[in-house]
A and B are shown apart, each in its own frame.
Chain A
Amino acid sequence: MRGSHPEEVILKEMSSAVENAHNDVASTVLDLLATSQRLPREQVTLNSTFEELKMDSLDAINLIFAVEEKFNISIPDDAAKSIRTVREMVDGVVSLMKNRALMQNK
């Protein structure tokens, strides 16, 4: 990192930390998805849609419950209704966790 402007370093470190956190969340969500839906872990990916995984509305709220429990977050009803893919779920969790971190730092 020699020669870089200190602010850039901080930004890079921050974005790398965020990226790592995002990857951790993604991996955990995929684990929860596989467990709650009784699917082989290798069958579920970030690009899977609930439809492809043959998940209906009851399956979706089952997964949402597992995710809420794991990350200690509360997913609003509107968001819960609109989530249709694993990626949307991961992005949603990350955003809720960020909000919580911001609230705690305030």
Chain B
Amino acid sequence: MRRVAVTGIGTVSALGLNRNEFWDALSNGRSGIGPLTHPDHQDLRFSQSAEVRGFQPENYFAAKHADTMDRFAQFSVVAAREAASDSGIEWTADLRERTVIATGSCIGGQSSQDHQFWDLYKLGKSRIHPFTIPRTMANAGASHISMDLGITGPSFTLSTACSSAAHAIGMAFTMVRGGQAELALAGGSEAPFSYGILKAWEALRVVSPDTCRPFSKNRSGMILGEGSAMLVLETWDAARARGAQIYCELVGFGMSSDAHHLTQPSPEGAARAMQAALRDAGVHADQIGYINAHGTGTEANDATETKAIQLVFGDCAPRIPVSSTKSMHGHALGAAAALEAAATVLALHHGVLPPTANFGETDPQCNLDVIANQARQQQVEFALSNSFAFGGMNAVLAFKSVA
């Protein structure tokens, strides 16, 4: 099987409109969480969010083109353009045909649908806009990327709630590794800030009234986020041959199902996904030097994820640096795993482990080496990025440093 290199990164998030702003915020422990800007925010029990601020579609798309796209699809194209440009890839017709696009999204363009259905149900209109379906479909992100970059190879979209992007990156990885594709643009995108979707999250009672404090004793829930991240994956040999900048190597992918509960996490299920990723990578637990946790900041997730890490790493567990970057870019649902994979890749590249922002008092139930509030200058060899979704669908990516 072929080795797979990460050679390009693009991000749009609450931390900024590009990769450099993203890493600058992460490495300085600066959170992008702020006041929710939705006009009806006073009707909600929460008031904070990790929104992409200052994103002007006209800076990226002709107005007529932008009209056909939900915000989530716009994010995905902007991130894909940045990743492709970052990789310095020179497109040929042959390479375009041998490139896979794999995107993850939890809700796709449901924000567009929500607005249109308002007209129908609330305003009593009898027709809604003909772009409703093409804007809403969850594969619109992948579709727009393929049209924008002229990529004619396989493309698909996976929807596994909060693990969506990890499944997308993982499947693209196995295709490049196995020879089904030479190159991949893989990641996720999400834009969930419409009234109906905000109300649906409010009803679940998992959103914090103030901020996201993963693994802290006083954690009070998650903060919704939005954005997109895309990675360029290609074979190690091709990347070396063309003298590309290699951020790190993607060495393993593990998946599991909890077979337990729709919304409650399971330590055993999460542990099985981490073990599968280690097995796939051919790496021992004691070689892992950093875990970018799922770390939503809810009572249940963080305690369960701690148990899962303890199950997998045993005596080593308290010594592995762990952080949840959701404390800074929020929980971007189907894009979360892509933003976190990008954070993990950049951590290995720079030799800097991003912190868990807003960290307060240690919780005995989360007895881990949580990197609190300040980044650590530390070059590690192997890192995991954890994603555990509603529905009990877990996906874990394993990366190896080039250094």
Contact = CB atoms under 8 A, between A and B. Distances in A.
A, B from the same assembly: yes
Interface of A: 56-58, 61, 64-65, 74, 76-77, 80-81
B205 A61 contact: yes
Contact of A65 (B203, B221, B261, B300): B203
B45 A57 contact: no
Given A76-B45, A77-B45, A57 B203 contact: no
Interface in B212-262: 221, 261-262
Contacts of A77: 45, 205, 209, 221
Pairs of residues from A and B, 4 with the lowest C-beta to C-beta distance, nearest first: A77-B205, A58-B263, A80-B205, A61-B205
Main secondary structure of the interface of B (DSSP, over half): loop
22 contacts: A56-B261, A56-B264, A57-B263, A57-B264, A57-B300, A58-B261, A58-B262, A58-B263, A58-B264, A61-B203, A61-B204, A61-B205, A64-B205, A65-B203, A74-B45, A76-B45, A77-B45, A77-B205, A77-B209, A77-B221, A80-B205, A81-B205
Nearest to A61: B205
- Max chain B Cβ within 10 angstroms of own Cβ: one of A56, A76, A77, A80: A77
Interface residues of B, number: 11
A62 to B, nearest CB: 10
Interface in B259-308: 261-264, 300
Given A57-B264, A57-B300, 4 more contacts: A61-B205, A65-B203, A77-B221, A80-B205
Contacts of B203: 61, 65
A56 B264 CA distance: 9
A70 to B, nearest CB: 15
A81 B204 CA distance: 11
- Max chain A Cβ within 10 angstroms of own Cβ: one of B205, B221, B262, B264: B205
A58 B262 CA distance: 8
Contacts of B300: 57
B275 to A, nearest CB: 26
Contacts of B264: 56-58
Interface in B182-232: 203-205, 209, 221
Nearest to A75: B205
Contacts of A64: 205
B196 to A, nearest CB: 15
B225 to A, nearest CB: 19
A3 B203 CA distance: 53
A64 B204 CA distance: 11
Nearest to B45: A77
Contacts of B45: 74, 76-77
A81 to B, nearest CB: 7
B200 to A, nearest CB: 11
Nearest to A64: B205
A51 to B, nearest CB: 14
Contacts of B221: 77
Contacts of A58: 261-264
A61 B264 CA distance: 13
A61 B300 CA distance: 15
A61 B262 CA distance: 13
Contacts of A80: 205
Contacts of A65: 203
